[in-house]
Amino acid sequence: MIASRFQYYRPETLDEACQLYMRLQEAKKMPLYYGGGTEILTRARESAIRPDAVLDIKHIPECRRLEMAEDTIVFGAAVTLDEICRTNYWPLLSDAAGRVADHTTRCKITLGGHLAGTIPYREASLPFMIFARDAKITVQGPAGPRRIPLVQVYDGQLHLGSAEFVVDLSVPRSVRDYRGASVKTTRIDWVDYPLFTVTMVRDSSGVRAAFSGVLADPFTSASIDKILSGKADLSQRARESVAQMNPIIDDLHGSSAYRRFRLTTVISQLLQEIGE
């Protein structure tokens, strides 16, 4: 049960949502953009947040785009992870998103909410981070929508200005051509918080990888990619890449030493899977 009262709004356009957010702020209220609502509802029940208003963006057409054009794939911020998996426009993203939480929850979690959430894993962001040089993000703000490179606002955490929200993310259709794989590793059960998730791709420049659950936030590393793209045997490349990661998380799901051990094995297996 949520102990505090809040107002619910359902804007129909990007401008309406942004203007409404700013009016609520001017009225000294705390508004939140609302996608799937899983994290907002959970944190509100725990009294970790007390929003005065939520603005449901799921009815804004631009936020619901999910399409594969001739040269671009577009994923709206209000599209759920389950919808992404079912359409399977980008198999690597489907692999990463398909292990987030359980199926019922994936039917609620939206891509935008997933990237903006406070839960640190954000596994579905890993394919976008690998192709961050090519990925674009559309952000709606007081000055209107702007389409910019993802690296300008996302580095494992989403950095937006006041009243801004994500409209969509897009990648070149060519990302489908590269061999890749994503592996989520848990301590005990299939459905559990991850020890870590690794997403890896081999493209024309070599091997590129993104990691979640290893450090405090999801990350990529040019130096690790260089090691993974090297000529040493698979196990050596795995050991050397893990040695670059510090400080590795040590929590109730697994110690840092255990994560290092499992991570080395998974990286070696992924290198073998995506081939030379």
pLDDT digits (tens, 9 = 90+) for 213-265: 999 999 999 999 999 999 999 999 999 999 999 999 999 889 999 999 999 99
Q: Which CATH superfamily is 180-274 part of?
A: CO dehydrogenase flavoprotein, C-terminal domain (3.30.390.50)
* CATH node for 61-173: 3.30.465.10
Task: Out of 38-42, 62-66, 174-178, 209-213, pick the least confident.
Answer: 38-42
Note the pLDDT of residue 190: 64
Note the pLDDT of residue 157: 96
Complete edge-to-edge strand list for the sheet that includes strand 72-76: 66-68, 72-76, 165-172, 136-141, 144-149
Q: Which CATH number fits domain 7-56: 3.30.43, 3.30.70, 3.40.50, 3.30.450?
A: 3.30.43
Residues of the chain with CATH 3.30.390.50: 180-274
pLDDT digits (tens, 9 = 90+) for 185-224: 998 766 678 999 999 999 988 999 999 999 999 999 999 9
Assign 45 a pLDDT band (cuts: 50, 70, 90). Answer: confident
* Packing angle of the helix pair 256-274, 234-243 (nearest 10 deg): 140
Note the pLDDT of residue 46: 87
Note the pLDDT of residue 75: 98
DSSP string, 124-188: GGHHHHHTTTT-EEEEEETTEEEEEEGGGTBSSSB---TT-EEEEEEEEGGGGGSEEEEEEEESS
> What's at 67, amino acid-wise?
E
Question: Is the pTM value of this prediction over 0.75?
Answer: yes
Note the pLDDT of residue 3: 72
